[in-house]
Amino acid sequence: MSVWNYVVTAHKPTNVTHSCVGNFTGTQELNLIIAVLVSDTGTYLKVGFINSQNLEYEDTDDKYPNFGYRPMLDVPIYGRIATLELFRPHGEAQDFLFIATERYKFCVLQWDAENSEQAMGDVSDRIGRPTDNGQIGIIDPDCRLIGLHLYDGLFKVIPFDNKGQLKEAFNIRLEELQVLDIKFLYGCSKPTIVVLYQDNKDARHVKTYEVALKDKDFVEGPWTQNNLDNGADLLIPVPPPLCGVLIIGEETIVYCSASAFKAIPIRPSITKAYGRVDADGSRYLLGDHAGLLHLLVITHEKEKVTGLKIELLGETSIASTISYLDNAFVYIGSSYGDSQLIKIHLQPDVKGSYVEVLERYVNLGPIVDFCVVDLERQGQGQVVTCSGAYKDGSLRIVRNGIGINEQASVELQGIKGMWSLRSSTDDPHDTFLVVSFISETRILAMNLEDELEETEIEGFCSQVQTLFCHDAVYDQLVQVTSSSVRLVSSTSRELRNEWKAPSGFSVNVATANATQVLLATGGGHLVYLEIGDGTLTEVKHAQLEYDISCLDINPIGENPNYSQLAAVGMWTDISVRIFSLPELNLITKEHLGGEIIPRSVLLCSFEGIPYLLCALGDGHLLNFLLNMSTGELTDRKKVSLGTQPITLRTFSSKNTTHVFAASDRPTVIYSSNKKLLYSNVNLKEVSHMCPFNSAAFPDSLAIAKEGDLTIGTIDDIQKLHIRSIPLGEHPRRICHQEQSRTFAICSLKYNQSSTDESETHFIRLLDDQTFEFISTYPLDTFEYGCSILSCSFSDDSNVYYCVGTAYVLPEENEPTKGRILVFIVEDGKLQLIAEKETKGAVYSLNAFNGKLLAAINQKIQLYKWMLRDDGTRELQSESGHHGHILALYVQTRGDFIVVGDLMKSISLLIYKHEEGAIEERARDYNANWMSAVEILDDDIYLGAENYFNLFTVRKNSEGATDEERGRLEVVGEYHLGEFVNRFRHGSLVMRLPDSDVGQIPTVIFGTVNGVIGVIASLPHDQYVFLEKLQANLRKIIKGVGGLSHEQWRSFNNEKKTVDAKNFLDGDLIETFLDLNRTRMDDISKAMGVSVEELCKRVEELTRLH
């Protein structure tokens, strides 16, 4: 049964809705704070740090280049953010952050190194009609009060006392019911608001009010302004010395104050966002619905405003928020396209634009539709989304894991080890690739044609297996074999020195860096050598009680060529030990437990934090924090990466060091926000890997796998890899056809000419490898593509694309006409085979037992595919079912049909073969406005609705009475906080049959805010265990600003609020892995399960996405 579900985010929301700039984390530090609307835990607040000293942008390959924005903090907020404002109370040195959520909670956050908050509260009222134009939250510039407009006709005030603490809130009646915007004015002796409103004749006016805090009422303000531009919907208060307010309309911009009135006409546009450039408010950036960025200048002589000027700067993504950072750098946050960091230049470029885009921050939102396909045919699903809107529309190919892009490959069997070497110490590139086999060593190098060919290093011994190789100081190379250590000149390639193993002993394991060699012979002997100019000196020898299984002396301290510590893995007592160099004194001994020996140890540093990684022979990896001065190991964590022994190697990509774990499930270990993350590599088994940064293949890796040696570059290091295909138009529906290897999309292009804004709709065919348009079928004027499907029919071997359309006429409320078009792909072209006119919009199409099932306005219609006498084919209506408001979403399984209705929740229909009729079997009698449905199994159906909730219903076939059988019973409820547009069965990860999670069925969803999420149906015992874990985590992890996780997750619509049931919050559960050890222990005690076991079970879950 799919009753017990686990909801987790695979791709966090990326739709930026709010941003602000200020000194939040310190008096001297400038921060950019971004609110990303989000699904699984409400919203993520990202706090970034801007270094204004070096806003000189240099083009480096770094992910956050040194123009100075770096992310510092990423916290979940249990709510959807409605207001995000920075303010600074009197006497404070840095800014506070005010947040209000859509569920009428608010908090004030203050930064300290421990991230604490200051105040919180609930501002909901028992009665009141929520505002149509969204919540407004504003802060008086002199920090006397916070104002909120949450319900029509009410203005809520939260006053500050003289210490800057918040006092009891109260409401003031507001006569204006249709409020478009409210702001506080600057430079008023009493707090004064300015209100932009619409009267009942649709005229728009501005009024000012003073807030009398003592009387808890409004007093008429200093001025009013009537009959503005009918499109006026944004107020910008101007700071002193000018004061007053700008009123932004669709065709005019007005500056208004008690003493002045100035207006200028503008090109018709809808301003979506503004950002203030100067502290005195004389210049503003305005972003409109077409993505055009304008600069508005208030011209003034001293404090007297003389006029307004507006100038077009260029094009950006369609902005939902604009923050001017410093030195002409601007952050553009977008809900319809990628967010951007831009620089505004003083001189235009050749195209006349003053805007240069420096960085793009990927945004998948809004995901209107998507499909799950396996394009590489490796058994791994990829999600192809219809993302963005208007001109920023695109397709995005999202896949899990890190890809290796193969550059060259050669067949070589039986590789036992690989190392890359340089021809001189200061050469930036690698020249040689040393490949070791069981009884020989071969050396490959790049020739002039950029091909790998075999070469010789005369000083190396090539008739034996090499145990280790490394570049050494003074243009030398070092090779360790079972009998000796050889020091070779990298320029003349001749032997300079050799250390031989004592007779009767052979070297088993060895490691080296540029100045040191550490090796172990049988019988537990540990030998430490130092490398000089042509010299190899044995400095120290130690006898250990057991044999040594692995070694590492990778330098992660101050000196890049010399390590003060050595890590040693032991047989027999199964421990890892830290020795000091050069003395070889034992500092730390850590028993690993269990029976499996350590096969590979590595000292490494991520984001400046030193770690010891230790890989075992059964695919487990332990990581410890390493104290460089004491050698102490703390914070032990264990993860399972595969089932075979792992070898660890460091490599660098984009100037950052990462670790590659080669095994049957190769993994890259990297760090983000000081947390270790593991991302699978899209390769089958890998036995060895080494970095090979040659001139021809910069930043490449050499990878040994089943009989092959491959050289390739690696994708960006992140868990999900996203490729963007910008279309310049808005894709609305997508479908993949395996047989023709194509995608078909329904899309629309906005033609923005100066006279009239029209749109054209198309069906386009794309190649599924190159994503290029290969064929286009234009739709009629006013005709929209509503649904698309690839299917075949009974008695016909062809595969067709079926498209459902609607004629959306300006004078009609509901479409009364549509078409079903049937296409076949021939020679890469769309050929129209048949069309059928319908009496409404074709909202959904499904293949149904060799026929076509369509949802047309309020009815469900079944068509069969008929052969005419002349050999052509047509769709013929067979049967139908009425009784819906609008049947928007349909899924089928066998003879069952599940319908998601505009208002009437989910109903279940059945097709009767004997009568050839469709009947209703059961329905959910709750009023839910549906946004997507999916069938989880024969009896459980999943729905999403427009108050951002998920729910499941169960078919009650065992019911005693017809009434019971006719009711779909609600079994699960959950508040996702995201608007879901589509569910699809499928998985983003390789389904490995040997793992526990390989058997768990999953559904993927895509949302307006760019979230890709996974819903996994768990076995009951696993669900019960995780539910207990979630309850314990709730006690320990507190939401920012005191917002409650339990309340946030409760199913909530305008009728009711009930606790979540039969759904678990995977994002919360997976935060268990990021807790510190003491908190893990607390939870382990409460659960009665060991920390290792908890980590293992939660790790498994992270493999679902």
Helix ranges restricted to H, 866-968:
962-965
Order of strands across the sheet with 319-326?
319-326, 329-334, 339-344, 355-361
CA dist., res. 82 & res. 79, Å (int): 9
Q: What's the burial of 43, exposed, middle or buried (CB within 10 Å: 0-12/13-18/19+)?
A: buried
What H or E segment, with its residue span, contains residue 1102? helix 1091-1102
Q: Are the CB atoms for 563 and 601 separated by under 8 Å? A: no
Q: 923 phi and psi, to 5 degrees? A: -150, 160
Q: What pLDDT shows up at residue 35? A: 66
d(CA 183, CA 197): 12
645 cis-preceded (ω within 30 degrees of 0): no
Please enumerate in sequence order all residues whose Cβ is within 8 A of that of 48, keeping only pairs 6 or more positions apart, or say none: 31, 32, 33, 34, 69, 70, 71, 72
Find all residues with CB under 8 Å of 915, minimum gap 6, and list them: none
pLDDT, position 384: 96
Looking up tokens 């009753």, which residue turns up? Answer: 3
Shortest CA distance to 371 belongs to which of 357, 352, 385?
Answer: 385
Q: What are phi and psi of 79, to 5 degrees?
A: 170, 165
Q: Which residues contact 946 (CB under 8 A, 6 or more apart)?
A: 929, 930, 931, 979
- Residue 516's CB is within 10 A of a number of other CB atoms, namely 23
DSSP 232-264: --EEEEPPTTT-SEEEE-SSEEEEE-SS-EEEE
pLDDT on residue 91: 78
Q: Do residues 622 and 600 lie in contact, with contact meaning Cβ atoms separated by under 8 Å?
A: no
The ranges of the chain with pLDDT < 70 are 35-73, 112-119, 126, 376-379, 752-757, 990-998
Least Cα distance to 554 among 619, 626, 646 occurs for 626
Q: How far apart are CA 443 and CA 1071, in angstroms?
A: 46
Q: What is the CA angle 1030-1032-1037, rounded to 5?
A: 85
Give the 3-state secondary structure of 761-781.
Answer: EEEEEEECCCCCEEEEEECCC
The two three-digit tokens of residue 325, written as one number: 């950072």
Output DSSP code: residue 391.
G
Phi, psi of 999 (to 5 degrees): -95, -5
- Alpha carbons 90 and 71: distance in angstroms, whole number: 28
Distance from the Cα of residue 270 to its chain's centroid? 29
- Characterize the bridge pairing of strands 43-50 and 69-77: antiparallel
Q: Which long-range contacts (CB under 8 A, 24 or more apart) does 172-179 make?
A: 172/211, 172/216, 172/217, 172/218, 173/218, 174/149, 174/218, 176/207, 177/152, 177/153, 178/132, 178/133, 178/152, 179/131, 179/133, 179/136, 179/149, 179/152
pLDDT tens column, 611-638: 999 999 988 899 999 999 999 998 888 8
C-alpha atoms less than 13 angstroms from C-alpha of 754 in its C-beta half-sphere: 2
What's the rounded Cα separation, in Å, for the pair 631 and 718?
31
DSSP string, 797-820: ---EEEEEEEE--TT-SS---EEE
CB 457 within 8 A of CB 432: yes
Q: Are 310 and 264 in contact (CB under 8 A)?
A: yes
Backbone angles phi, psi at 1069, to 5 degrees: -60, -40
The CB-side HSE value for 154 (13 A sphere, CA atoms) comes to 18
What are φ and ψ of residue 1099, in 5° steps? -55, -45
b/e code 759-789 from CB counts within 10 Å (16+ = b)? eebbbbbbebeeeeebbebebeebbbbbbbb
Rounded Cα gap, residues 580 and 21, in angstroms: 48
Residue 59's pLDDT is what?
31
The three state secondary structure string of 965-1021 is: HCECEEEEEEECCCCEEEEEECCCCCCCCCCHHHHCCEEEEEECCCCEEEEEECCHH
Report helix, strand or coil for 939: coil
pLDDT of residue 60: 29
pTM value > 0.85: no
DSSP assignment of 325-390 equals EETTEEEEEESSS-EEEEEE-SS--TTS--EEEEEEE----S--EEEEE-TT-SS--EEEEEE--G
Q: 115 pairs with which residues across the strands?
A: none
Q: What is the pLDDT of residue 994?
A: 52
CA 331 – CA 335 distance, rounded (Å) = 13
Torsion of the alpha carbons at 159, 163, 164 and 170, rounded to the nearest 10: -10
3-state secondary structure 641-692: CCCCCCEEEEEEECCEEEEEEECCCCEEEEEECCEEEEEEECCCCCCEEEEE
DSSP string, 413-469: ----EEEEE-SSTT-SS--EEEEE-SS-EEEEEE-TTS-EEEE--TTS--SS-EEEE
| Concatenated DSSP letters of 127-169 | S-PBPTT--EEEE-TTSSEEEEE-BTTEEEEEEB-TTS-B---
Residue 826 CB partners (closer than 8 Å, separation 6+)? none
SS3 1101: helix
Tokens found for residue 592: 């690993």
